[in-house]
Amino acid sequence: MAEQNIVLLGAPGAGKGTQAKMLSDELGVPHISTGDILRDAVAEGTELGAEAKGYMDRGELVPDDLVIAIACERLAQPDCRPGFVLDGFPRTVPQAEALGEAMDDLDREDLIVINLVVPEDEIVRRLSGRRLCRKCEGIFHIDWEGVEDGGTCPKPDCDGELYQRSDDRPEAIRERLEVYRSQTEPLIDYYRGRGTLVDVSGEGNPEEIIGPVLDVVRNRG
């Protein structure tokens, strides 16, 4: 079977994390989120975490060399051989170039790049109301899922504490959107120019979006 080497692009809050989890479950390939790897490093107090924390809290990008090393090391693991879903990487053109080189070095098939498109006012609404569960890592929204700020996870069998990411506060959201426009949006042209990018609307609920996303994966080429 062809490799399923998927990259999800889109603004912060476009739903990359949610779609990546669903794709990973559906296709049986690992979900690789550089944001999750960095947040774990911060929580564990590692050297990487100490280096990344300030950038993350301010909503800035962590330097390319750090993130490229993390992502390329992870992609070289044997469980990524049948494919992977990259969520939040690459985020700059140098990261995309490094990813292309790593794919060549590892003798991997082409990337399938999916761009989740969501209007900016919707993005801000999603990010400011987003809450995460400390236990199951589920993602919820205070307006839509009946969850309360500071409450517990609404999933059956989970009573984890809900929290707001430090970079989902208004000043950090503004900074992240600015960083997205200046550094990550150019990737859309980078991949479109290579004929590997497909736009999918990220508006609606996750169950409505996963269908068109899976269609892209299954009909590629």
Q: Where on the chain is the footprint of ligand AMP (CB under 6 A)?
A: 12, 34-35, 38, 55-56, 59-62, 67, 88-89, 91, 95, 167, 176
Candidate list 21, 91, 126, 131, residue with the active-site label: 91
Contact 17, 10 (CB under 8 A): no
91 is catalytic: yes
Helix (H, G, I), strand (E, B) or coil at 169: coil
Q: Of 182, 13, 212, 221, whose CA–CA distance to 114 is shortest?
A: 212
176 is catalytic: yes
* DSSP letter for each residue of 22-48: HHHHHHT--EEEHHHHHHHHHHHT-HH
Candidate list 21, 74, 126, 165, residue with the active-site label: 165
Q: Could you identify the residue written with the tokens 């060399």?
A: 65
The tokens for 18 are 């949610």
Instruction: State in angstroms the smallest separation of the CB of 113 from ligand AMP.
Output: 14
58 is catalytic: no
53 is catalytic: no
Residue among 89 and 191 whose Cβ is closer to ligand AMP: 89
Instruction: State in angstroms the smallest separation of the CB of 79 from ligand AMP.
Output: 20
169 is catalytic: no
- The residues carrying an active-site annotation are 16, 91, 130, 165, 176
